Amino acid sequence: MKAAVITFPGSNCDRDLAVALEQAGAEVTRVWHKDSALPAGTELVAVPGGFSYGDYLRCGAIAAQSPIARNLREHADKGGYVLGICNGFQVLTELGLLPGALMRNQGLTFLCKPAPLKVATTDSAYTSGYAPGQTITIPVAHHDGNFQISEGELARLRDEDRIAFTYAPAINGSVGDIAGILSANRRVLGMMPHPERAADTALGGLDGRPLFTGLVEALAYA
Ligand SMILES: NC(=O)CC[C@H](N)C(=O)O
């Protein structure tokens, strides 16, 4: 699988994400926010966590206007795979590639801790490496992770089985305890927890690894 990992000024999980993808067998190219093209043959664009452009305006809002964001949108519009983690999820909602918004955590504090999650669907390239209903632990590190969405759009997410992960127990006030969602074509995933921080025993956990290995395997047979 050919993957491109975007770096914005303020990204801080870009290298970890590239390493996690490489360890799963992906061929990774790093892309700068001012680039105006993705490498030929890119199958997955990965948008990492961090504090892009200092979180000014709203988390992810300025990154969504960057030069590479146009290529990201084109890639998604063509049916390409896009993975947004934490700040990356915020960027994808700002771009309108995923519905809803990430608001300030209910407790108004930055949360940095391991978060137990439930795998809510295994029907995607990103979650096929898990067992249905499996409980996993993945670290979170955010102040704007409180996912909110209209009732109608929430019903649609549920009807279409597009909720990928939920917090168990709740941590930040997200509606339906939602931690990650899929696009209608199931090729775009946004999630607040950081699977790249739980993809190596040296990092204290392996529960994030099946996301990357499952994705690489799923795309090999796509
Ligand atoms: N780790 C991250 O990507 C953090 C995202 C964003 N800066 C927030 O705090 O909500």
CA of 11 to the centre of ligand 1 (A): 9
Distance, CA of 87 to CA of 53 (rounded, Å): 11
Residue whose structure tokens are 């305890």: 177
Q: Is 196 a catalytic residue?
A: yes
* Nearest Cα to Cα of residue 197 among 213, 208, 181: 208
Q: Is 13 a catalytic residue?
A: no
The CB of 142 under 6 Å from ligand 1? The reply is: yes
The CB of 140 under 6 Å from ligand 1? The reply is: no
CATH number, position 6: 3.40.50.880
pLDDT 10s digits, 175-188: 999 999 999 999 99
HSE-CB at 176 with a 13 A cutoff on CA atoms is 22
Q: Under the phi-then-psi rule, with left for phi > 0, alpha for psi from -120 to 50, and beta for the rest, what region is 204?
A: left
Question: 81 with 187: CB under 8 angstroms?
Answer: yes
- What's the number of domains the chain is made of? 1
Q: What pLDDT shows up at residue 129? A: 96
Tokens of 17: 């994400």
Q: Is 86 a catalytic residue?
A: yes
Model ipTM over 0.95? yes
- Torsion, Cα 124 128 133 136, to 10 degrees, reads -110
Q: Which residue has the higher pLDDT, 157 or 204?
A: 157
pLDDT 10s digits, 45-76: 999 999 999 999 999 999 999 999 999 999 99
Which range marks the domain in which residue 152 is found?
Answer: 2-220
Which of the four pLDDT bands, split at 50, 70 and 90, describes residue 222?
Answer: confident
